[in-house]
Amino acid sequence: MSARLKIDSLHFAETAGRMSGECSLQELSRLHDLLTSREGTLHWSLEGGRDAGRPVLRLGVQGRLKLVCQRCLAPCVHPLTVEAILPIARNEEELALWESEDPLLDGLVAEPHLDVRDLIEDEVLLSLPAIPRHPIGECGQADD
Ligand SMILES: [Zn+2]
């Protein structure tokens, strides 16, 4: 994904668009402060469709991130799995109505030039643990 990939989000949802690809961690600059290594690639897929009567984008992202364990400060591998369902509202008013019906809704306002890489970056950041840690027993401090 060297060139910026953009879609018309509402059109993509309503026409059941499909695309997938790979994205290097180098390209996701907003993640860089959290990573101990920028090497690696994320696999992503995007599908348009409907959910609960609303046009949606379904975004899947898989990969492995090296984060910093907040207990021992050593790198810890985080297996990343994002599966987001993102309703696409026509405008702010429609999104506000949907959010009043469903406070957990993770919706977006229709965007004729939605940057797919920005969307992936947003959803990956949202999915990360607030405090990354090794699993119990695998932490560097577990031996102390
Ligand atoms: Zn640790």
Tokens of 29: 């600059």
User: 138 CA to middle of ligand 1, Å?
Assistant: 7
User: 133 CA to middle of ligand 1, Å?
Assistant: 5
Pairing label, strands 75-89, 108-109: parallel
| Full-model pTM | 0.90
Greater pLDDT, 139 or 142: 139
User: 25 CA to middle of ligand 1, Å?
Assistant: 22
User: 85 CA to middle of ligand 1, Å?
Assistant: 32
Tokens of 73: 């400060």
For residues 114 and 89, give the distance between their C-alpha atoms in angstroms, rounded to a whole number. Answer: 13
Residue whose token pair is 């059109």: 11
Q: What percent of the chain has pLDDT over 70?
A: 95
For residues 80 and 37, give the distance between their C-alpha atoms in angstroms, rounded to a whole number. Answer: 15
- The mean predicted confidence, pLDDT, of the chain is 93
pLDDT value at 144 more than 60: no
Q: How confident is the model at residue 132 (pLDDT cuts 50, 70, 90)?
A: very high
Which residues, in sequence order, are CB contacts of 81 under 8 Å at separation 6+? 61, 62, 127
Query: Residues for the chain: how many in total?
Result: 144
User: 136 CA to middle of ligand 1, Å?
Assistant: 8
Domain ranges of the chain: 6-129
3-state helix/strand/coil string of 100-125: HHCCCCCCEECCCCEEHHHHHHHHHH
